[in-house]
Amino acid sequence: MTGRSQYRVVIVGAGIVGLYTAWHLAEAGVTDVLVVDRGFLSGGASGRNGGGVRQQWETPATVRLARESVGAYRRFGVDFGYNVWFRQGGYLFLAETPAELDRLRAVVRIVNAEGLPARVLTPSEVLRHAPALDVTGIAGGTFLGSDGTLYPFPAVWGLFEALRARGVEVTTGTPVTGFRIEAGRVRGVVTASGTVAAEAVVNAAGGWSRDVSRLAGLETPNVASRHEILATEPLKPFLDPMVVRTSDGLYFSQTMRGEIVGGLSLPHPTGTGSGMPSSIRFLGTMARALTGLLPALASVGVLRAWSGFYDETPDGLPILGEDPRLGGFYHANGLGGHGFMLAPATSRRVAEAVLGQRTDLDPALFGPGRFLEPGRARQAERLTLG
């Protein structure tokens, strides 16, 4: 149920991306905004992720966005009154082969060029950052100490309450079922509880964003890819950084509560149709990977497992900005498994675009139109795991 029948902006999706977009609009003085979500707050990937925030990327533009997000999360408690427990324990990437290590070296050069002190590590230096690891078979790694982990839920609560205080409406349990389109422009949003008029619509639906775009007659190349994750029983702190192994996408960190939380990449059927179940296959594969790299965990119990959707694009980069095929329809999606870590920065730019302001985003990298020009060589972000 929504309070009014028309809004300047309707944002589809009340995850971290949608909420931050609404926040940046409110900061610019636009509070005539509705954020609408099919589920409940933190029910999607914003409540299902591992909490990692890193600045080590292959594309310089992504490094800059991530660096801005790190700043936002460092300030989050002061800005929003909620503690996201952003702990900068670093990100430790591990390579198993010389080729993988070369690729990570290239990442470090890019990150260094952006002014961040990432370093290439020998196996013995890896051990200094994470003494519990078994580094047999590890060729080396990289480390950036200002990367870190946070507790995702309070970020959602903080934004939700800040928006409410500014008079922005956030409505959950209300699926979007269609759009009103007139003369090549989006004019309104049809929801399960009625139609509201809108001058602009932002698709921030995460794993469901391709489904939402289709409701507007737009095909986008992103796919919902289910990823599983688990948490162990809590232990006293022994691991500071987030650890990522590039070969199989294994990642894990120790949360503020002491649990080891992590996952790895398994192929699953894509699309949102099959829901978000856990699988026995994941439990076995993850347990083997985790106890192989951190043998002391063998006697530690898995407490729970769950899954969520990555909203993946072919080039590993988000889709940000107005769709050239439909005026007033803005994308804030395709963030892969990294919506939480990039949202503060990407959402600001989407908000600027909605307000008709100039953004510093390169449309060739992030624009929705880039997929409409096939065959053009573009940069891509391949460091998408972890």
Partner 1 sequence: MAATGSSPPRWRGRPLAGPEGASLVARLARAGLPELQRSLRYHRPRAPFCGIGQCTNCLVGVNGRPNVRGCRYVPLAGDRITSANSWPSPSWDLLGVLDLLFPRGLDTLHGFTWPRFAAPLYHRVIRRLAGYDRLPEGGAATGPAGPPAPAVADPVETDVLVIGAGDAGTAAAAACAGRGLETLLVDRGPPAEAPGPARLARTTVVFLPPPEGEPSRFSALVHEEAGPARLVRARRVVVATGGYDGPLLFGNGDRPGVVTAEGALALGLADADPWFRRAVVFGGGPRVLPLLDRFGTHVEAVVAPGAVSPAVVERASALDVPIYPRTLLLEALGRRRVRGLRLAPRGGGPTFDLEADALLLAHRRLPQPQLFYQAGARMRWHATLGAYVPDLEAGGATSVPGLYAAGTAAGLLEPAASAASGEAVADAISGSGVARPAPPALPESTGELEGYYVELLRRPRGRAKRLLCPCEDVLLTEVEEAVANGYRGVEVVKRRTGVGTGLCQGRYCLPDLLLVLAHLEGRPPAEVGYITQRPPVLPTPLGALARLPTATGSEEEGA
| Backbone dihedral angles phi then psi of residue 167, each to the nearest 5 degrees | 90, 10
Q: For residues 103 and 80, give the distance between their C-alpha atoms in angstroms, rounded to a whole number.
A: 38
Token code pair at residue 260:
């080891």
Q: For residues 69 and 186, give the distance between their C-alpha atoms in angstroms, rounded to a whole number.
A: 30
x-or-dash string of contact with partner 1, 331-370, rule CB under 8 A: ----------------------------------------
Token code pair at residue 217:
């007659």
Residue 142 identity: T
Question: Given candidates 4, 214, 304, 382, which one binds partner 1 under the rule CB under 8 A?
Answer: 304
What's the Cα-to-Cα distance from 37 to each of 209, 271, 327, 330, 353, rounded to whole Å?
12, 18, 22, 16, 22
Q: How far is the CB of 174 from partner 1 (least distance, A)?
A: 13
The stretch among 56-64, 97-105, 255-263, 344-352 that binds partner 1 (CB under 8 A) is 255-263
What's the Cα-to-Cα distance from 81 to each of 75, 76, 84, rounded to whole Å?
10, 7, 10
Q: How far is the CB of 376 from partner 1 (least distance, A)?
A: 37
**Residue 339 burial by Cβ neighbours in a 10 Å radius (0-12, 13-18, 19+):** buried
132-161 residues in contact with partner 1 (CB under 8 A) are: 132, 153-154, 157, 161
Question: Given candidates 7, 10, 25, 42, which one binds partner 1 under the rule CB under 8 A?
Answer: 42
User: Is there binding between residue 128 and partner 1 (CB under 8 A)?
Assistant: no
The neighbouring-strand residues paired with 148 are 53
Order across the sheet with 140-144: list the strands. Answer: 119-121, 140-144, 91-95, 242-245, 251-254, 260-263, 223-232
Between residues 81 and 98, which has the closer beta carbon with respect to partner 1?
A: 81
Between residues 33 and 186, which has the closer beta carbon with respect to partner 1?
A: 33
Q: How far is the CB of 357 from partner 1 (least distance, A)?
A: 29
51-80 residues in contact with partner 1 (CB under 8 A) are: 74-75, 77-78
Residue 341, SS3 per DSSP:
helix
Q: For residues 227 and 243, give the distance between their C-alpha atoms in angstroms, rounded to a whole number.
A: 17
x-or-dash string of contact with partner 1, 190-229, rule CB under 8 A: ----------------------------------------
Question: Given candidates 28, 127, 215, 302, which one binds partner 1 under the rule CB under 8 A?
Answer: 302
Token code pair at residue 35:
């954020």
Question: Given candidates 57, 86, 91, 179, which one binds partner 1 under the rule CB under 8 A?
Answer: 86
Overall residue count recorded for the chain in this entry = 386
**Residue 51 burial by Cβ neighbours in a 10 Å radius (0-12, 13-18, 19+):** buried
268-287 residues in contact with partner 1 (CB under 8 A) are: 268, 274, 277-281, 283-287
Q: Are 152 and 51 in contact (CB under 8 A)?
A: yes
User: Is there binding between residue 299 and partner 1 (CB under 8 A)?
Assistant: yes
Tokens 């809004």, located at residue: 7
Q: Which of 251, 253, 273 is nearest to 264 (CA)?
A: 251
DSSP secondary structure code for residue 369 in this structure: G
Between residues 145 and 369, which has the closer beta carbon with respect to partner 1?
A: 145
Between residues 106 and 303, which has the closer beta carbon with respect to partner 1?
A: 303
User: Is there binding between residue 248 and partner 1 (CB under 8 A)?
Assistant: no
Q: Look at strands 119-121 and 52-53 and give their pairing.
A: unpaired
Between residues 109 and 164, which has the closer beta carbon with respect to partner 1?
A: 164
Q: How far is the CB of 226 from partner 1 (least distance, A)?
A: 9
Question: Given candidates 300, 355, 359, 380, which one binds partner 1 under the rule CB under 8 A?
Answer: 300
Between residues 137 and 324, which has the closer beta carbon with respect to partner 1?
A: 137
Between residues 87 and 349, which has the closer beta carbon with respect to partner 1?
A: 87
Q: How far is the CB of 32 from partner 1 (least distance, A)?
A: 21
The stretch among 11-19, 35-43, 54-62, 120-128 that binds partner 1 (CB under 8 A) is 35-43
Q: How many CB atoms lie within 10 A of CB 99?
A: 9
Q: Which residues bind partner 1 (CB under 8 A)?
A: 40-43, 47, 74-75, 77-78, 81-83, 85-88, 132, 153-154, 157, 161, 164, 232-238, 256-258, 268, 274, 277-281, 283-288, 290-292, 295-306
